[in-house]
């Protein structure tokens, strides 16, 4: 016979594992399985266990359909309190039934099972089901990424205590059909939580991750989401009087003078949620950086206060003739430079002010300049070598992300050619090539304090690098699929990643371990943004859905109503943290009221409130003619800059 | 897809050949609905190439095993080899977790105070001097006189032409003046400086076609506390 019985092959694999050679030979002879060259099942342990426990039902594929149908009916007939939570159980049971049918070679039954019950599954799982439906033979299970994920890991389902007891009672009644019990034992992790059953909205808010919802234990670590204490910066020739930041020694709070707005009214006592300044080594500020910071503070003092009544003005930079070539863009912190990465592996840097970009002098000329002069940094630039646009050549694949460092001296870019390159903005050449990812790198970001940067790629890892090490310092493993976007926390201690497995994870730079996992997105996550205070993170996905998470608990703070119709590729918070802007490929920019979103006061259930809370979040929507929005950036004075490409085709 | 698509070459304009229809149905099954018509042709070509190479390899394996016909195992083996050559998957999660565990245990390195850019050691940077090969010349090679210095040895030849200038730089003479630079030398002046290590670069110099004057060579005394960069000779 050409098809070998699955349970027997499973037993063979088990025997091989325990090195029972003679038993194996006897079994082969008796079962007439042929010579040693026959292939054996190459399955992970969990699948083996499930085959061996369920072998007596293998011959009867009809039981699967009946069992699933029975479970579905039971769930539909249960009380609303339990219904929505229990319905999250249907999808993993369905998937594993399908895989089991394939494993036992009941392909036609499997296909009909898939057709019958596949369309009833949630819409965010349909794409995954399409990928699974390619698997039509047990040999194909190993090659299929999704099937492997499901067969090696347990799907987590959260149930309230009452719901789980209902489920147990139902399963107990199903003594003759042990299929579901076996599936639950082997492949599904049921976590029981105390509390009432969740509503449909609550369940939907956190459903969508590739392996279900996170377990409570995964979100329990303490996260220091506060901001670092700022060093003492004297802002000298300022129109405002001296503003002193909170000093590093928390002994005595300095009296504040001339407060323009809440920015400088820092809490004199230390924030319990802020990490100590030396938790991770951070570079000291050089003299010139302190001058820059002083300038930044002065600009910040002049900025416009934003809110629902005072929306920002938007300045849109359109890249012409680049509809299908410009991929990514970045604007530096003081909003004077714009960098764009192209799919022909170029990078172009433009200046957004009348000041032109200068190159550095040659070596002989550099020897002649006076190093002690105050403006040595100006003198070292070549006067004749100025241009409004500079080209950077070096990559050999599309450039997926460009990022300016906080001090405007270097540029990082990552590309499909698996490298991350560091460029100098003074010599306009490439300085270092960081090799480590062996697959395309999707995102690269600088730490807000400079020196560190993080990259994420197709190999499901995110890495933390420092500019002076050619190997990564930390590798963050945990995602089940490509890591599409990465972002540093404002205090540089944490990194958030978003991935194609529809989860957002927060990692600790100090230990490299995962501290938070947040599910709820229904599609791949393309962009992340931390709030200015560091407590919240906003994420935008490929279905146009946006979510805001609270880092202290790891739960969703708000699920914004679906407004965008195309993938969101840009998110930016205003400098005072009151307005969140989102830009998407549907050519619109939307402004959201972030203070209302994170407003923790209870909703007044008055009948006068005709507008539900969710609709108050969206402040305004701006549409461009046909320019998908690729980047958003708030200047220090709260002017919103947007970058997009003009798609001339209708 | 096992039949060869002879019909592709002789396809009439109106009828779509059977293999192309198969490709279109595959795309529909995977969920792709929006594609240019040329994509079907490209996929057909790729499939043809792939299948023939797999079958060729299978025949070689069958011959090696002294079999008369190609067997299922041969095809399986050759498909596997093809797959390993062209497509690799990212490492499995367990391997990655193991690597991460080892790597993440090391504490983050402290940041040393340093002026200028913080870059990895020079051999990982692209901050080396640029080389350029100059085309050979027919001119008479001038003998250059050099002040004898322990660190430089020059060899001049009177051979004609088909030689190119190769300038070697003493290793370790990379400069970090704060930021690396690209050099734009207009005069063909060669500066050689030696680092504190004694090195003996061998230099062969031939005069360039545009040399207005014999090439001057200057040497600097080794300076241990400062490392100098030298200019390249660029033909402009």
* Chain A residues inside the 8 Å CB shell of B99: 475, 477
Asked casually if ipTM beats, i.e. exceeds, 0.85, the reply is: no
> Is A156:A89 a contact under the CB 8 Å cutoff?
no
> Measured between beta carbons, which residues in chain A are less than 8 angstroms from residue B177?
363, 366
Does the pLDDT at position A293 exceed 80?
Answer: yes
Look at residue A212 and tell me whether its pLDDT is greater than 60.
yes
Residue B175 is assigned to a structural domain of this protein: no
Q: Tell me whether residue B60 is in a domain.
A: yes
Residues of chain B with pLDDT under 50: 1-12, 146-149, 151-236
Taking CB atoms and an 8 Å limit, are A451 and B180 in contact across chains? no
With CA atoms as reference, the chain B residue closest to A376 would be: B178
List, in order, residues 6 or more apart from A631 with CB less than 8 Å away: A328, A329, A330, A331, A569, A570, A583, A642, A643, A644
* Structure confidence at residue B151 (pLDDT): 46
At residue A614 the predicted structure's pLDDT band, cuts being 50, 70 and 90, is low
- The answer to whether B135 and B210 have CB atoms below 8 angstroms apart is no
Q: How confident is the model at residue A273 (pLDDT cuts 50, 70, 90)?
A: confident
Tens of pLDDT along B40-90?
999 999 999 999 999 999 999 999 989 888 888 889 889 888 888 877 777
Helix (H, G, I), strand (E, B) or coil at A514: strand
In a domain, B7, yes or no: no
Say whether A510 and B109 touch across the interface (CB within 8 A).
no
Kindly state whether residue B205 falls inside one of the protein's structural domains. Answer: no
Is position B55 within any domain? yes
User: What is the per-residue pLDDT across A383-425, written as a single tens digit (0 to 9) for each?
Assistant: 888 889 999 999 999 999 999 999 899 999 999 999 999 999 9
pLDDT tens-digit map of A254-266: 333 333 334 444 4
Which of A97-106, A406-415, A472-481, A497-506 has the weakest average pLDDT? A97-106
- Pick from A430, A474, A511: CB nearest B126: A430
Number of continuous H segments (helices) and E segments (strands) in chain A: 17, 31
* pLDDT tens-digit readout, A356-384: 888 888 878 888 887 777 777 788 888 88
* Range A497-516 average pLDDT: 93
Q: Is the pLDDT of residue A622 over 90?
A: yes
Is the domain A314-367+376-602+613-643 a CATH 3.40.50.300 member? no
| Mean pLDDT calculated for residue range A149-168 | 88
Which residue's structure tokens are 């009221």? A593
The most confident of the ranges A193-197, A292-296, A398-402, B159-163 is A398-402
Distance between A169 CA and the closest CA of chain B, angstroms = 37
Distance of CA A495 to the CA centre of its chain: 10
For residue A516, the model assigns a pLDDT of: 93
Per-residue pLDDT averaged across A554-573, rounded?
89
Residue B77: inside a domain, yes or no? Answer: yes
Helix (H) or strand (E) run with residue A539 in it: strand A536-541
User: At A291, is the pLDDT very low, low, confident or very high (cuts 50, 70, 90)?
Assistant: confident
Q: What is the pLDDT of residue B206?
A: 41
User: What is the predicted pLDDT for the residue at A235?
Assistant: 52
- pLDDT-derived band at A74, boundaries 50, 70, 90: confident
Helical (H) or strand (E) element with B62: helix B37-64
The predicted structure's pLDDT at residue A33? 64
Range of the domain at B75: 18-105
Tell me how far apart the alpha carbons of residues A17 and B38 are, in angstroms, rounded to a whole number: 50
Alpha-carbon span B207 to B205, nearest angstrom: 7
Report how many domains make up chain B: 1
Check CB contact under 8 Å for A467 and B119: yes
Do A69 and A62 meet the contact criterion of CB atoms below 8 Å apart? no
Size of interface A-B (CB pairs under 8 A): 122
Residues of B in Cβ contact (< 8 Å) with A410: 117
Interface mutation target, options A395, A431, A470, A507, chain B, most CBs of B under 10 Å: A431
Which pLDDT score, from 0 to 100, does residue A632 have?
95
Q: Which of A291-300, A455-464, A609-618 has the highest mean pLDDT?
A: A455-464
The tens digit of pLDDT for each residue in A429-445 reads 999 999 989 899 999 99
Q: What is the CATH number of the domain that holds B71?
A: 1.10.20.10
Q: Closest residue of A to B89, CA-based?
A: A459
- Structural domain contains residue B101: yes
Kindly tell me the burial class for residue A9, based on how many C-beta atoms sit within 10 Å of its own C-beta (0-12, 13-18, 19 or more). Answer: buried
* Portion of chain A with pLDDT greater than 90, in percent: 36
Q: How many residues does chain A have?
A: 650
Q: At what angle do helices A179-187 and A62-77 cross, to 10 degrees?
A: 80
**CATH number of the A60-213 domain:** 1.25.40.500
Calculate mean pLDDT across residues A104-108.
83
Q: B-chain residues within 8 Å CB-CB of A460?
A: 90, 93, 96
Give yes or no for B202 touching A (CB within 8 A). no
Compute the mean pLDDT over every residue in chain A, rounded to the nearest whole number: 83
Look at A176-180, A214-218, A445-449 and tell me which has the smallest mean pLDDT.
A176-180
> Range with the lowest mean pLDDT among A58-72, A315-329, A604-618?
A604-618
Tokens 């906080």 -> residue: A406
Question: According to the model, what pLDDT value does residue A389 have?
Answer: 92
Query: Domain boundaries in chain A?
Result: 2-55, 60-213, 314-367+376-602+613-643
Higher pLDDT, A51 or A145: A145
Q: Is residue B83 a part of any domain in this protein? A: yes
């Amino acid at each position: 016979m050409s098809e070998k019985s699955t349970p027997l092959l499973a037993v063979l694999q088990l025997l091989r594992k325990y090195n029972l050679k003679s038993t194996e030979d006897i079994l082969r002879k008796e079962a007439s399985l042929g010579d040693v060259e026959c292939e054996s099942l190459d399955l992970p342990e969990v699948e083996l266990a499930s085959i061996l426990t369920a072998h007596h039902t293998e011959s009867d594929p009809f039981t699967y359909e009946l069992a699933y149908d029975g479970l579905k009916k039971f769930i539909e007939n249960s009380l609303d309190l339990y219904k929505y939570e229990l319905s999250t159980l249907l999808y993993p049971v369905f998937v594993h039934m399908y895989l089991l049918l394939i494993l036992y070679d009941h392909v036609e039954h499997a296909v009909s099972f898939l057709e019958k019950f596949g369309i009833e599954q949630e819409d965010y799982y349909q794409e995954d089901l399409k990928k699974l439906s390619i698997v039509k033979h047990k040999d194909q299970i190993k090659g299929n990424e999704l099937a492997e994920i499901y067969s090696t890991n347990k799907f987590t389902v959260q149930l309230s205590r009452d719901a789980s007891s209902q489920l147990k009672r139902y399963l107990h009644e199903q003594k003759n059909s042990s299929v579901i019990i076996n599936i639950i034992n082997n492949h599904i992790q049921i976590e029981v939580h105390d509390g009432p059953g969740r509503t449909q909205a609550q369940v939907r808010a956190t459903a969508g991750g590739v392996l279900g919802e996170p377990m409570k234990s995964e979100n329990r670590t303490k996260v220091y989401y506060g901001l670092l204490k700022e060093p003492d910066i004297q802002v000298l020739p300022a129109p405002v009087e001296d503003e002193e930041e909170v000093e590093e020694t928390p002994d005595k709070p300095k009296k504040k003078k001339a407060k323009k707005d809440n920015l400088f009214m820092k809490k004199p006592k230390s924030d319990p949620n802020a990490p100590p300044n030396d938790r991770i080594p951070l570079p000291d500020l050089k003299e010139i950086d302190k001058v820059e910071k002083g300038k930044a503070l002065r600009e910040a003092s002049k900025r416009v206060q934003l809110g629902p009544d005072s929306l920002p003005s938007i300045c849109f930079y359109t890249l012409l003739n680049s509809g299908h070539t410009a991929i990514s863009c970045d604007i530096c912190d003081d909003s004077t430079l714009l960098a764009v990465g192209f799919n022909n592996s170029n990078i172009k840097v433009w200046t957004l002010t009348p000041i032109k970009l200068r190159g550095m002098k040659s070596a002989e000329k550099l020897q002649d300049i006076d190093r002690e002069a105050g403006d040595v940094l100006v003198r070292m630039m070549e006067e004749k070598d100025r241009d409004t646009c500079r080209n950077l050549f070096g990559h050999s694949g599309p450039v997926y992300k460009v990022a300016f460092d906080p001090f405007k001296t270097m540029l990082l870019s990552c590309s499909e050619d698996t490298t991350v390159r560091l460029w100098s903005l003074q010599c306009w050449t490439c300085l270092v090539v960081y090799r480590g990812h062996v697959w395309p790198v999707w995102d690269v970001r600088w730490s807000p304090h400079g020196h560190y940067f993080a990259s994420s790629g197709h190999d499901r890892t995110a890495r933390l690098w420092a500019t002076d090490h050619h190997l990564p310092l930390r590798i963050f493993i945990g995602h089940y699929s490509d890591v599409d976007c990465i972002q540093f926390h404002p205090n540089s201690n944490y990194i958030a990643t978003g991935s194609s497995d529809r989860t957002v994870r927060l990692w600790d730079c100090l230990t490299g371990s995962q501290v938070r996992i947040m599910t709820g997105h229904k599609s791949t996550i393309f962009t992340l943004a931390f709030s200015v205070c560091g407590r919240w993170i906003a994420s935008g996905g490929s279905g146009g859905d946006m979510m805001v998470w609270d880092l202290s608990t790891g739960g969703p703070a708000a699920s914004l109503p679906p407004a965008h119709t195309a993938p969101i590729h840009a998110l930016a918070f205003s400098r005072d943290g009151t307005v969140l802007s989102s830009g998407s490929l549907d050519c619109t920019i939307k402004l959201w009221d972030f203070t209302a979103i994170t407003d923790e006061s209870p909703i007044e259930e008055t009948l006068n409130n005709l507008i539900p809370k969710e609709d108050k979040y969206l402040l305004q929507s701006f549409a461009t003619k046909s320019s998908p929005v690729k980047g958003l950036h708030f200047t220090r004075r709260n002017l919103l800059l947007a970058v997009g490409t003009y798609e001339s085709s209708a | 897809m096992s039949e060869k698509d002879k019909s592709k070459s002789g396809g009439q304009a109106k009828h779509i050949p059977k293999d192309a229809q198969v490709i279109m149905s595959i795309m529909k099954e995977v969920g792709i609905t929006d594609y240019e018509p040329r994509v079907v042709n490209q996929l057909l070509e790729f499939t043809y190439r792939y299948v023939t190479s797999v079958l060729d390899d299978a025949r070689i394996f069958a011959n090696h095993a002294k079999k008369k016909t190609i067997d299922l195992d041969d095809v399986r083996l050759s498909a596997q080899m093809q797959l390993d050559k062209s497509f690799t998957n990212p490492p499995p999660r367990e391997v990655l977790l193991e690597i991460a565990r080892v790597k993440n245990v090391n504490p983050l390195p402290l940041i040393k105070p340093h002026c200028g850019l913080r870059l990895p050691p020079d051999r990982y940077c692209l901050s080396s001097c640029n080389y350029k090969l100059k085309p050979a010349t027919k001119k008479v090679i001038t003998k250059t006189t050099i002040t004898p210095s322990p660190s430089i040895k020059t060899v001049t030849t009177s051979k004609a032409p088909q030689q190119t200038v190769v300038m070697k730089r003493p290793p370790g003479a990379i400069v970090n003046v704060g930021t690396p630079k690209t050099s734009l030398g207009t005069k063909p002046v060669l500066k050689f400086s030696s680092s504190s290590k004694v090195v003996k670069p061998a230099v062969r110099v031939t005069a360039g076609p545009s040399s207005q004057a014999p090439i001057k060579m200057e040497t600097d005394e080794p300076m241990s506390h400062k490392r100098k960069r030298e200019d390249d000779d660029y033909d402009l």
